Amino acid sequence: MRWRILALFSFSAFSAGADLPEDGQSSSEVAKVLVDTVAREEIPGIFGVITSSEGIIALSSAGVRKFGTNVPLKSSDLIHLGSCTKAMTAAVIARLVVEGKLRWETTLIEALPETKGAIAPGFHRISLWELLTHQAGVPANAVDWWSYGDLPILERRVALLKEALKRPAPHQRGKYQYSNLGYMIAGCMAERATGKTWEFLIKDRLFTPLGMMSAGFGAPGRIGEVDQPWGHVRAGKNWRANQSDNAPALGPAGCAHCSISDWAKFLRCYLPKGPDIRLNAEARRRLVTPSGAYAGGWVIGKRAWAKGTVLTHSGSNTMWYATVWVAPGLDRAFAVATNSCNERSHAICDQVIGKLIQIDQRSH
């Protein structure tokens, strides 16, 4: 499964910024944009947030949790982040580099020496940073993400790695080729360096210190219940609700969920006065310095409206779609997520982001 993508950290034990919007007028304007979008695009629901270093400026949602019901979305509901999880994985790995447990140059066989005889020689010396910037030449995905389901998750990921890398590299090393598998491999390297699962590491190094109490993994909510939004795929003129998700083994590449306000807590880490997540200057710089156009879980570019650098990404498990743009020069991050996915989702989220930017520009 391939996600489409678009074109500083200094770790306190406290969540950063307020959880409630500071600008009621902006939230009202965002609400109108979202309501209009749901009606015009005939989608189940959508969320939007604007945040600064200090906290949330505007936050709203519109639509329903599940198509065919009248259960409304709440702004505190969970959203699925898809590949927007990648920036979180990169941030956790940066923590491990600062702690001395990994190096950006750590190679695959240094981290997992038992793979040497099982994988093609061309993969032996691919580095952690090459994996995080999609330049390792590895396949886009595992052969079958659901394989080896009887193994514990640590062993399952290594088994998937070995199976996927048996054959010579399908892509040129050093050349950009988007890869979910690459992020899982980076997660494997972090797991071996610590003896802990990626799930434990991201909770311990990121979710808990930032106060992201809603964060977790997989599809939101209890199976069969409408206690959280369901994902949706198009079914003719209607939507088919679905609570399934990617295989858990894919976690480091795209299985996190949280409320959009908790996502904003993470996004604030990339703003000028955002929370401290115990990274030194080199690690902070590395995460936002691209190899080509991609850095640590982010597409990096320039935009005039942002007064310089932007960090952006989109993510989808094919039933949800999320998009984020971070503008450090404006001290702003803009994020949108919809509990549906079709050929219009990318454009819908991008259009709403544009309207959030306009709302913010009018407010100051």
pLDDT digits (tens, 9 = 90+) for 86-132: 999 999 999 999 999 999 999 999 999 999 999 999 999 999 999 99
- Of the candidates 121, 252, 118, 120, the one whose C-alpha atom is nearest the C-alpha of residue 182 is 252
Question: 245-285: per-residue pLDDT in tens?
Answer: 999 999 999 999 999 999 999 999 999 999 988 899 899 99
Question: 149-184: per-residue pLDDT in tens?
Answer: 999 999 999 999 999 999 998 899 999 999 999 999
Q: Are residues 220 and 352 in the same domain?
A: yes
Q: Are residues 186 and 322 in the same domain?
A: no
Q: Is 206 exposed, middle or buried (0-12, 13-18, 19+ CB in 10 A)?
A: buried
More confident residue, 15 or 200: 200
Other C-beta atoms lying within 10 Å of the C-beta of residue 252: 31
Percent of the chain with pLDDT over 70: 94
Q: Is 13 exposed, middle or buried (0-12, 13-18, 19+ CB in 10 A)?
A: exposed
Give the strand order in the sheet containing 256-259: 78-80, 256-259, 216-217
Q: How confident is the model at residue 22 (pLDDT cuts 50, 70, 90)?
A: low
Is 2 contained in some domain?
no
Is 12 contained in some domain?
no
The number of C-alpha atoms within 13 Å of 126 and in the hemisphere containing its C-beta is 31
Residue finishing a domain among 145, 171, 200: 200
Is residue 235 over pLDDT 60?
Answer: yes
Other C-beta atoms lying within 10 Å of the C-beta of residue 229: 32
Q: Are residues 35 and 175 in the same domain?
A: no
Question: 295-305: per-residue pLDDT in tens?
Answer: 999 999 999 99
Strands 308-315 and 321-327: antiparallel
Torsion, CA 68, CA 72, CA 75, CA 81, rounded to 10: -10
Is residue 12 over pLDDT 60?
Answer: no
Is 14 contained in some domain?
no
> Both tokens of residue 128?
């952690």
Q: Are residues 269 and 284 in the same domain?
A: yes
- Of the candidates 147, 341, 317, 146, the one whose C-alpha atom is nearest the C-alpha of residue 245 is 317
Q: Are residues 351 and 228 in the same domain?
A: yes
The number of C-alpha atoms within 13 Å of 96 and in the hemisphere containing its C-beta is 29
Average pLDDT of the chain, as a whole number: 93
Question: How many domains does the chain fold into?
Answer: 2
Name the residue range of residue 338's domain: 24-84+213-362
Q: Which residues contact 343 (CB under 8 A, 6 or more apart)?
A: none
Residue finishing a domain among 165, 200, 235: 200
Is residue 3 over pLDDT 70?
Answer: no
Percent of the chain with pLDDT over 90: 88
Q: Are residues 241 and 263 in the same domain?
A: yes
Q: Quote the pLDDT of residue 23.
A: 55
Is 13 contained in some domain?
no
More confident residue, 23 or 6: 23
Is 207 contained in some domain?
no
Say which CATH number the domain at 282 has.
3.40.710.10
